[in-house]
Amino acid sequence: MFGLFKDKNKKKEVPKVSEEILTEEQKEQLKKKIEDLNQELKLTAENNPEQLAFICEKLGLAYAKLNQENEAISVLEKSLSYKLTIGEGYKKLMSLYNAKRAEAAKKGDDSGIDYYMNKMDDMRQIAKKVTISR
């Protein structure tokens, strides 16, 4: 009950984040998908923000699968600038910000930590706006 007889030397297992390992074929398919989405993005009219947001979200998720975090962040932010949503793109962007914050913390980069903490705060505000507007 109070842990009197527990083995104190027993280490707690830290759950590992499973990162999907892509085959070369899958990487090529994703690169092709990114090319197609970039073409679609160029052809989509600026007066259709919902479609632009949808394409940017798919594009950002594809970049994230290829571990191209900076490109993914850029495109996912662009998606949210067209239309505020809290779908898969929102979740992925939040996790990318959190990973960047952790990376900055590991390096001891205080300005990086502050930057990504502010970005995550902005994301929480988006979630509030979207939730309230429903």
User: Does any domain span residue 113?
Assistant: yes
User: Does any domain span residue 19?
Assistant: no
pTM, two decimals, is 0.80
User: Does any domain span residue 128?
Assistant: yes
pLDDT in tens, 8-55: 665 555 444 446 688 899 999 999 999 999 999 998 888 899 999 999
Q: What's the distance, Cα to Cα, between the start and end of the chain in Å?
A: 46
pLDDT over 70 percentage in the chain: 85
Calculated CA dihedral for residues 72, 113, 17, 90, nearest 10 degrees:
-40
Domain region containing 103? 24-133
pLDDT in tens, 103-126: 999 999 999 999 999 999 999 999
132 contacts 112 by C-beta, under 8 angstroms: no
User: Does any domain span residue 4?
Assistant: no
130 contacts 86 by C-beta, under 8 angstroms: yes
User: Does any domain span residue 39?
Assistant: yes
Number of folded domains that form the chain:
1
Domain CATH code at residue 44: 1.25.40
